[in-house]
Amino acid sequence: MKRILFLLIAPLSLLAQTLNEKHLKNLKQLTFGGDNAEAYFSPNGKFLTFQSNNPKWGLKCDQIFNLDIKKASKDSTYKPKNISNLEGRTTCSYYLPGNKEILFASTHLSSKDCPPVPESKGKYLWAIYESFDIFVADVNGKIKKQLTTNKGYDAEATVSPKGDKIVFTSTRSGDLELWIMNIDGTNQIQITNELGYDGGAFFSPDGKKLVYRASRPKTEEEIKEYKEYLSQGLVAPTNMEIYTCDIDGKNVKQVTKLGKANWAPFYHPSGKKIIFSSNHHSTKGYDFQLFMVNEDGTGLEQITNESKFNAFPMFSPDGKKLVFSSNRNNGGTRDTNLFIADWED
**pLDDT for position 285:** 66
**pLDDT for position 283:** 86
pTM of the model: 0.93
**pLDDT for position 12:** 44
Question: What is the three-state SS of the chain?
Answer: CHHHHHHHHCCCECCCCCCCCCCEEEEEECCCCCEEEEEEECCCCCEEEEEECCHHHCCCCCEEEEEEHHHHHHCCCCCCEECCCCCCCEEEEEECCCCCEEEEEECCCCCCCCCCCCCCCCCCCEECCCCCEEEEEECCCCEEEECCCCCCCEEEEEECCCCCEEEEEECCCCCCEEEEEECCCCCCEECCCCCCCEEEEEECCCCCEEEEEECCCCCHHHHHHHHHHHHCCEECCCCEEEEEEECCCCCCEECCCCCCEEEEEEECCCCCEEEEEECCCCCCCCCEEEEEEECCCCCCEECCCCCCEEEEEEECCCCCEEEEEECCCCCCCCCEEEEEEEECC
CATH of domain 26-343: 2.120.10.30
**pLDDT for position 119:** 81
**pLDDT for position 120:** 73
**pLDDT for position 11:** 44
The pLDDT tens digits along the chain (345 residues) read 333 333 333 444 444 444 589 999 999 999 999 999 999 999 999 999 999 999 999 999 999 999 999 999 999 999 999 999 999 999 999 999 999 999 999 999 999 999 999 887 778 899 999 999 999 999 999 999 999 999 999 999 999 999 999 999 999 999 999 999 999 999 999 999 999 999 999 999 999 999 999 999 999 999 999 999 999 999 999 999 999 999 999 999 999 999 999 999 999 999 999 999 999 999 876 899 999 999 999 999 999 999 999 999 999 999 999 999 999 999 999 999 999 999 999
